[in-house]
Amino acid sequence: MTTTNTTTNAIVHKANTRGHANHGWLESYHTFSFAGYYNPERVHFGVLRVLNDDRVDAAMGFGKHPHDNMEIISIPLEGDLEHKDSMGNSTVIKNGDIQVMSAGTGIFHSEYNKNPDQPVKFLQIWVFPNKKNVQPRYDQVTLNVNDRHNKLQQVLSPNPEDEGVWIHQDAWFHMGRFDKGIDTTYAIKKAGNGVYAFILKGDFTINGHELNQRDGIGIWDVDQLDIKANSQDAEILLMEVPMDVA
């Protein structure tokens, strides 16, 4: 089965071609090779290495496990995700929050569904860092989701003083929720970067490509993306990342 649709400067990953793991308590869709899913055509998009679309059953979760040398971003979509780590952080994140960890020289953390009676759904995104062996760090912010209505809201950047969380990489993430028929453009922040767009909900046209819920498209060698929402309350995540893995 062909899992990718590549044009000159774009690659489309349809939702139903993603890797899939169902462990009962955990159901995960992997855009890129992860754990038991290995597809040499699907390993990374630039420095974007992991895009996991996870559902965890009530009161279940990932016990204590380690990470190093990776920028790890969690974006809750539904429910409450409880996080505890070896730096002493103990938090609960929910829709509207974004969490980041720079794993650096090594951390341990656990992630559990805080709720006893409903699942939690979240994206876990891993980005290769531009600097190895940094001091581990944790951060989270609560964003005003109204600030992404019919526009793109920055949720992550390389700059600690900027809007959203920051990471050790020349990457910018934006989220948007659009009414049907609304057009917008996204201008590349750093020359040479590409953008991986992930459709959270609804339908979009991006640079001429028709995309539906949970489809992804990676685009490079462009200055901007032309984005149109084709359904009401369509939601999108844009991840601008360097294309060269150091």
Partner 1 sequence: MENLTILYLGMHPEIRETVVRVINGNGRWRGIGAGSTEEAMRLFLFEKVDVLLLGCGIDPETEARLRKDMLELAPSLIIIQHYGGGSGLLLAEISMAVEKHHPKTLNPSL
- Which residue ranges make up the site for partner 1 (CB under 8 A)? 33-36, 38, 40, 43, 49-50, 65-70, 103-106, 108, 126, 128, 132-133
Asked whether the beta carbons of 204 and 244 are under 8 A apart, the reply is no
Nearer to partner 1, 129 or 176 (CB): 129
**Phi (first) and psi of residue 68, to 5 degrees:** -145, 160
Nearer to partner 1, 15 or 134 (CB): 134
Q: What span, in angstroms and rounded, lies between the C-alpha atoms of 151 and 179?
A: 10
Asked whether the beta carbons of 46 and 64 are under 8 A apart, the reply is no
> Which secondary-structure segment (H or E) carries 80?
strand 80-85
Beta-bridge partner residues of 101:
72, 138
Nearer to partner 1, 86 or 118 (CB): 86
Sign of the Cα pseudo-torsion (114, 145, 165, 186, in order) = positive
Q: How far is the CB of 105 from partner 1 (least distance, A)?
A: 5
Q: How far is the CB of 11 from partner 1 (least distance, A)?
A: 17
Q: How far is the CB of 103 from partner 1 (least distance, A)?
A: 6
Nearer to partner 1, 128 or 186 (CB): 128
Q: How far is the CB of 98 from partner 1 (least distance, A)?
A: 20
